[in-house]
Amino acid sequence: MSGVGKPAHTDIAAYVLGVLDDADNAAFEAHLLDCPNCQLDLLEMHELPDLLDEIRRYWPEPPVPAPRVLAPMLDEVAAIRRRRTLVRRVLAVAAMLLIIAGPLVTLAVVPSQAPAPVAAVTPPRPPAPSSPGASRFTGSETGQALRTEVLVMPTSWGAAVRLDLSGVAGPLRCHLVAVDWSGHEETVASWTVPAGAVDPLLISGGTAFGPGDIEKFQIRTESGAVLASIER
């Protein structure tokens, strides 16, 4: 080693074999997190202790040790166990490096300047004329030459509404307003009629009122004038 805090790249073998002292071992692990070369070497050499153990299996049987050498042999067995523990730690470090590198690879693949997706606003699906449970509003209290029909379908959140409208000449900005039996109002939809007569118009919207709570619908201009009052 070149000293605590300054590990050399060549210390990878000593680290794998478990011969570094605690201070050098800690310094090298800190160096390992920032050194891609040592990370690659570590992945290649982490099986070295097991390979050495495999080679020892084919060595000639040693003579029975005398009592005076038994203690060193026990120390060697303990050292082997420590090396195997170290290998497991090395594998854990390698797994940690892969976890750290994963998000970096993802960031490199995804362009940093890519525009954020824009959520599409989907209006409530209008009820089909033949849908069971649909309510139909067709009456009109105005004398204008408007043809109107409102279909209302019950939903879990209130009611989906579809307005069929013809005979309106623009330019004009309109609102469809639902009125319940107590006189409370909710705007169901808003739209703009282009210049000239557009025939017909199909407008979709929704309301928190249930179909049975609605007394009538009104088509109003932006100034509040009622173009049509549509009842059951």
Average pLDDT over every residue of 19-46: 80
What CA–CA distance (Å, rounded) separates 199 from 11?
84
Answer yes or no: is 199 within a domain.
yes
Residue 202 to residues 120, 161, 165, 205, Cα–Cα distance (Å): 20, 11, 6, 10
**Domain for residue 170, yes or no?**
yes
3-class secondary structure, 140: strand
Q: What is the pLDDT of residue 123?
A: 45
The total domain count for the chain is: 2
CATH classification at residue 191: 2.60.40
Whether residue 144 sits in one domain with residue 102? no
Record the tokens describing residue 28, joined without a space.
């090298």
For the sheet with 135-137, list strands across it: 135-137, 147-155, 158-166, 201-207
Instruction: Map tokens 């040693």 to a residue.
Output: 62
For 22, the token pair is 């605690």
Same domain, residue pair 59 and 146: no
- On average, the pLDDT of the chain sits at 75
Residue 113 has pLDDT above 70, yes or no: no
Confidence of residue 205 (pLDDT cuts 50, 70, 90): very high
* C-alpha separations of 13 from 3, 16, 143 in Å: 16, 5, 96
In this structure, is residue 120 part of a structural domain? no
- Chain CA centroid to CA 217, Å: 41
Residue type, 216: K
Rounded CA-CA distance 211/215 in Å is 9
pLDDT at 143: 54
Residue 123 lies in a domain: no
Residue 17 to residue 52: CA distance in whole angstroms = 10
Is position 41 within any domain? Answer: yes
Instruction: Tell me if 118 is assigned to some domain.
Output: no
Same domain, 140 and 212: yes
Q: Which domain holds residue 14?
A: 9-109
Provide the pLDDT confidence category of residue 177 given band limits of 50, 70 and 90: very high
pLDDT 10s digits, 186-204: 999 999 988 876 678 899 9
| Residues 158 and 203 grouped into a single domain | yes
Report how far residue 98's alpha carbon sits from residue 92's, in angstroms, rounded to the nearest whole number. 10
